[in-house]
Each structure stands twice: as structure tokens, then as C-alpha cells.
Amino acid sequence: MTRLPEPDPPAGLVPPCALAGLWAVRHGRSTANVAFAAAAASGSTEPVPGRDRDVPLTGEGVAQARALGTWLAGFAPGAGPELVVCSPYLRALRTWEEMASRAAGLGTPPLDALVDERLRDRETGVFELHPPTALRARAPGEAARRELLGDWYYRPPGGEAFTDVAVRVGQFVSDLGRAAPGRRVLVVAHDGVLIALRHVLAGIGATAPEQLPPVPNASVSHWDGDGHRLRLISWGDTAHLTPPASAGDRTA
């Protein structure tokens, strides 16, 4: 887990948000995550078949989602999320389904759950599900443009830059704060959405990241709310994915 004892931005430039707390989860490991890693290792130039919104979880991703359910069940009454908003993409929906099932089995009351299209993954247009190796082989000019602009600003033909994702995520946060004041909310989405969420909640004038912060699969990032603003407490926490050591595993 990355703790962030950062100085507060100027109070007047932080967007108001009446939520009592916000947790953001990236979906568990997906088949596309595996395919992209394999392409990076092998140099494959083949895109992943199918539609991005239909990419499923792997067996490991399902196990990660169930571990998130155990994490969810560990909150004391009145301390954890009470409302869930999920991306419409299959890998995020399945992550929430597995989380909810495990948490219910451990005695957690069911949570209200909604789906919002603005939490979909970053759209990559004509290069949907193309690993970087495929982009370099099939469109070297676009690969060079991406390298020149950087990941935050690069917009593939027919797709979105992270700046575009930040616009829709910012609108979502604004609407959510007005619709659910005082509530504790869990978002289940994608790495691009979480990166945009961090940027939006940093406030007006926040510097665009030179390098995008890592967001591990099935990680949890947490913002604490005081009814007026949200403060980032932790980023990309994966401690819940590591089983506690047994007595025989501990060292002196």
C-alpha cells in the first residue's frame, strides 16, 4: 500500500464533494491483461480478439475478486461502503459480483449497486485491444506519436486520451457528490478511471502526471471525506490479496 502524507492543495481549488468516503477498486486480472503481458514477452503483433467491454476475468482474477469480498466483509458496521457504482464492462461487473457473493457469505448485508457508463475503461478506438507490440508493427506512425505525446495526452484515432477520461470522471464525481451526500461509496472500475479519479480529486490546477501511477489488479485506493472534500489516504493497496502468514511461516 502507498500511503500519501501529501500537503493539502489550496482549499479554494479543491472541488467540493459531500461524500463521507470513497474507495476505488480496479477489476481483477483479466484475459486481456494476460494477453498483453504475453505479447510484451514474446513480441506478438496480434491484437486480442473480441470487444474490450466483453473481456472476462481469469481464474486468478476471480480469486482476487473473492479476496476483495473478504476485505469488504472486514469493515465494522457503519465504517465501510454502503453504495457501489460499477463500470458496465464485464470484467468490472464480474469483480463486483464475486466480491458481493463472498461478502454476503461472510455476513455482510447487501449493498445498493448501480452501473454508470462514465466508469467504462479508456476507449482506444481503432486500436482496441492492441498490445503496444501490435501498435508498433501495424501503425508505426501512431506508435511514434504516442511516444512523443506521452500516455496522458495520446488520443488514438476514434478513442480517448486520459484527459478525455478525466472529463467524464469529473462529471461523475460531481454528480455523485450531489446525489449521495454523506454516503460512503465504492467504485469498481479500471486503471484509467482510477488515474483520472486521482487527478480530478487533486483539484483545479493539479499537474498532469509525467508517468501514470501504477494501479495493480484488484487493488484498493481510498479517499476519506469530511463532508466538504475528499482526501487521498492510500493508493493501490493490495495487502488483502496476501493471505496472513501461518505461525510456521513467521520468522523471529
What whole-number distance in Å separates Cα of residue 27 and Cα of residue 94?
A: 8
Task: Record the cell numbers describing residue 41, joined without a space.
Answer: 514477452
Is the predicted pLDDT of residue 196 greater than 50, yes or no?
A: yes
Please report the domains of the chain, with CATH numbers, ordered by start residue. Answer: 13-237 (3.40.50.1240)
Is the predicted pLDDT of residue 26 greater than 80, yes or no?
A: yes
What whole-number distance in Å separates Cα of residue 216 and Cα of residue 30?
A: 12
What whole-number distance in Å separates Cα of residue 162 and Cα of residue 109?
A: 36
pLDDT at position 223: 97
pLDDT at position 10: 53
Region 75-90 average pLDDT: 96
Task: Record the cell numbers describing residue 72, joined without a space.
Answer: 469488504
Residues 6+ apart with CB under 8 A from 152: 161, 162, 163, 208, 209, 212
pLDDT at position 4: 52
Are 223 and 15 spatial neighbours (Cβ–Cβ below 8 Å)?
A: no
> Which pTM was predicted?
0.91
Split at pLDDT 50, 70, 90, the class of 242 is confident
Task: Report the candidate in 53, 48, 47 with the shortest Cα–Cα distance to residue 136.
Answer: 47
Task: Report the candidate in 103, 102, 61, 65 with the shortest Cα–Cα distance to residue 82.
Answer: 103
Helix or strand run (H / E) with residue 224: strand 220-225
Query: Sign of torsion, CA 217 84 15 239?
Result: negative
What whole-number distance in Å separates Cα of residue 200 and Cα of residue 213?
A: 14
Task: Record the cell numbers describing residue 245, joined without a space.
Answer: 502468514
Compute φ and ψ for 149, nearest 5 degrees: -80, -30
DSSP annotation of 80: S
pLDDT at position 225: 94
Task: Report the candidate in 192, 233, 230, 229 with the shortest Cα–Cα distance to residue 209.
Answer: 192
Q: Over the chain, what is the mean pLDDT?
A: 92
How crowded is residue 181: how many other Cβ atoms within 10 Å of its Cβ?
A: 13
Region 135-154 average pLDDT: 95
Region 110-138 average pLDDT: 96
